[in-house]
């Protein structure tokens, strides 16, 4: 997994398989890239290991949500 491979994935990046938020980017050696949610990233990573550089940010799923203070109406 290479952290310098690409910028951090955002909520706008979507899984090419199911449309969920992408946490895994596979940059294909032949050109192009694939984006996967954590589930599909785990499913397809073994088959892509020798065909792509894989950047996995799925550990971000375990980060706590930032606290938002309640607003007064």
Dump pLDDT digits (tens) for 41-58: 999 999 999 999 999 999
Q: Which long-range contacts (CB under 8 A, 24 or more apart) does 35-41 make?
A: 35/9, 40/15
pTM for this prediction:
0.76
Does residue 16 register a pLDDT over 70?
A: yes
Name the more confident of 68 and 52: 52
């Amino acid at each position: 997994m290479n952290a310098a491979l690409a910028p951090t994935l955002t909520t706008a990046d979507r899984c090419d398989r199911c449309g969920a938020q992408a946490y895994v980017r596979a940059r294909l050696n032949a050109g192009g890239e694939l984006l996967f949610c954590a589930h599909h990233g785990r499913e397809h990573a073994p088959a892509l290991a020798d065909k792509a550089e894989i950047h996995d940010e799925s550990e971000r799923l375990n980060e706590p949500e930032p606290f938002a203070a309640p607003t007064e109406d």
